[in-house]
């Protein structure tokens, strides 16, 4: 197999939950040696949160953890103890990159801030991906992606006009890792050219704002505040997810212009209502959208979602069935063809599927490894990386430094 593009790069990974581990997963999947530094005192949320394999809880059985931490190693260190911090610093001396996604200032308060770490390893690259960044009045705000989705304005435009803002979950947690990985790669390139490391202060909040860019520009130019439109779009009608045959089956259909409208009408058999003048133009369809959606649903409710998708696409009408998790993993022909989910053997899960990276490099294809068990690589980390003896490790175990 070809050498992976990031082989030889070493990462001391202090991240947890979603944004941080997903960021370092990119590095690990492409060949970097990523060592997760974990603790039972404050375990990764997704090690102890469901869903679990067979609904049996356990730190190695969480579906999300095993999905987002592929190709990594794990060692256990209690960072709350002075000796734990000293061990962490030794891993920093070994590493090229240090990554965390705690609240702003947390690593400084732990005695592991950039000013300390660069004294240990002058060319270290440290990436901190906090909600708000390391400066400003909100810099030390803790939180998760659902709170950040709200403050970024995404919740404000999600949902229906007559209801409260929608809860769209950890949306920003999917955005930040792309910026984090790209920023780290840029810093690696800079260090390759100059020999100098640097500190990367990545504010997840600011990265998420590009996803509401049109809304911000509309306010800037027109002083207009965007509102909630449900599944509608001012540029198209019909536009939404329409109920199909079966239990909780849906198909997303979009008609943006008159040519697509004519194709849509032919596809559904040109019923008499499609000839009515009020639906002849986009403006008319928008004015009568409530009734239009009822009429469209009366047709789609008797259709199989996948068949309807194929028929619409063949006619040139944008449409896509609404996948369930089962659809995505078992039946989606595109994902199956590109081998996006890869089977790996796991000591507790048996065989399971985890996602690889969405980009395919022709010279250095991505082949992932399973996620690590908690503390699975303690012996390697302490002996091979730090050069410790069995007696030294045993003493740390007795003192609770190694858990």
64-119 pLDDT, tens digit each? 999 999 999 999 999 999 999 999 999 999 999 999 999 999 999 999 999 999 99
Q: What is the mean pLDDT of residues 34-53?
A: 95
- CATH 3.30.1540.10 residue ranges in the chain? 239-329
- pLDDT score of 159: 93
3-state DSSP helix/strand/coil percent for the chain, to nearest 5? 45, 15, 40
* Backbone torsions φ then ψ of 242, nearest 5 degrees: -110, 135
| Structure confidence at residue 367 as a pLDDT band (50, 70, 90) | confident
Q: Are 278 and 287 in contact (CB under 8 A)?
A: yes
Q: Which fold has domain 239-329?
A: formyl-coa transferase, domain 3 (3.30.1540)
Token pair, residue 227, equals 């509102």
**Which residue in 13, 96, 100, 173 is the catalytic one?**
173
The pLDDT value given to residue 366? 83
pLDDT tens figures, 228-280:
999 999 999 999 999 999 999 999 999 999 999 999 999 999 999 999 999 99
CATH 3.40.50.10540 maps onto the chain at 10-210+338-398
Homologous superfamily, domain 10-210+338-398 = Crotonobetainyl-coa:carnitine coa-transferase; domain 1 (3.40.50.10540)
- The reported pLDDT for the residue numbered 358 is 92
For residue 263, what pLDDT is reported?
98
Lowest mean pLDDT among 135-144, 186-195, 262-271, 314-323: 135-144
Would residue 173 show up in a list of annotated catalytic residues for this protein?
yes
Mean pLDDT (the chain) is 95
**Structure-block tokens of residue 192:** 């390759």
What would the pLDDT profile of 340-349 be if each residue is shown by its tens digit? Answer: 999 999 999 9
Mean pLDDT of 329-343: 95
Decide if 374 contacts 15 (C-beta within 8 A). Answer: no
pLDDT of residue 1: 59
**Global pTM?**
0.93
């Amino acid at each position: 197999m070809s050498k992976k593009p990031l082989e030889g790069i070493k990462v001391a990974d202090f991240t947890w939950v979603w944004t941080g581990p997903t960021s370092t997963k990119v590095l690990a999947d492409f060949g970097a040696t990523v060592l997760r530094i974990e603790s039972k005192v404050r375990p990764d949320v997704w090690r102890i949160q469901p869903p679990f394999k067979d609904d049996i809880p356990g730190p190695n059985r969480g579906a999300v953890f095993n999905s987002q931490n592929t190709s990594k190693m794990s060692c256990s260190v209690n960072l709350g103890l002075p000796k734990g911090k000293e061990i962490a610093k030794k891993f920093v001396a070994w590493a090229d990159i240090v990554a965390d996604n705690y609240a702003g200032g947390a690593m400084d308060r732990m005695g592991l801030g950039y000013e300390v770490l660069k004294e240990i390893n002058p060319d270290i690259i440290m990436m901190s991906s906090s909600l708000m960044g390391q400066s400003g009045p909100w810099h030390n705000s803790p939180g998760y992606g659902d709170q950040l989705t709200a403050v970024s304005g995404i919740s404000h435009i999600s949902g229906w006009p007559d209801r409260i803002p929608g809860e769209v979950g950890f949306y920003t947690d999917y955005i930040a890792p792309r910026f984090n990985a790209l920023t780290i790669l840029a810093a690696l390139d800079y260090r390759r050219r100059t020999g100098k490391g640097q500190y990367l202060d990545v504010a997840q909040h600011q990265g998420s704002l590009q996803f509401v860019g049109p809304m911000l520009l509309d306010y800037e130019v027109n002083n207009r505040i965007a509102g909630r439109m449900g599944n509608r779009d001012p540029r198209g009608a019909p536009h939404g997810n329409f109920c199909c045959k079966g239990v909780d089956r849906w198909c997303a259909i979009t008609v943006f212009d008159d040519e697509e409208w004519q194709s849509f009408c032919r596809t559904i058999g040109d019923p008499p209502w499609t000839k009515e003048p009020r639906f002849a133009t986009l403006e008319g369809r928008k004015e009568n959208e409530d009734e239009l959606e009822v009429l469209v649903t009366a047709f789609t409710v008797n259709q199989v979602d996948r068949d309807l998708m194929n028929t619409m696409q063949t006619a040139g009408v944008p449409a896509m069935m609404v996948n369930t998790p089962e659809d995505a993993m078992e039946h989606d022909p595109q994902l199956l063809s590109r081998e996006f989910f890869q089977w790996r053997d796991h000591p507790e899960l048996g065989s399971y599927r985890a996602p690889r990276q969405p980009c395919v490099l022709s010279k250095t294809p991505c082949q992932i490894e399973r996620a690590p068990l908690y503390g699975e690589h303690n012996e390697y980390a302490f002996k091979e990386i730090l050069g410790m003896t069995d007696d030294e490790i045993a003493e740390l175990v007795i003192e609770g430094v190694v858990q």
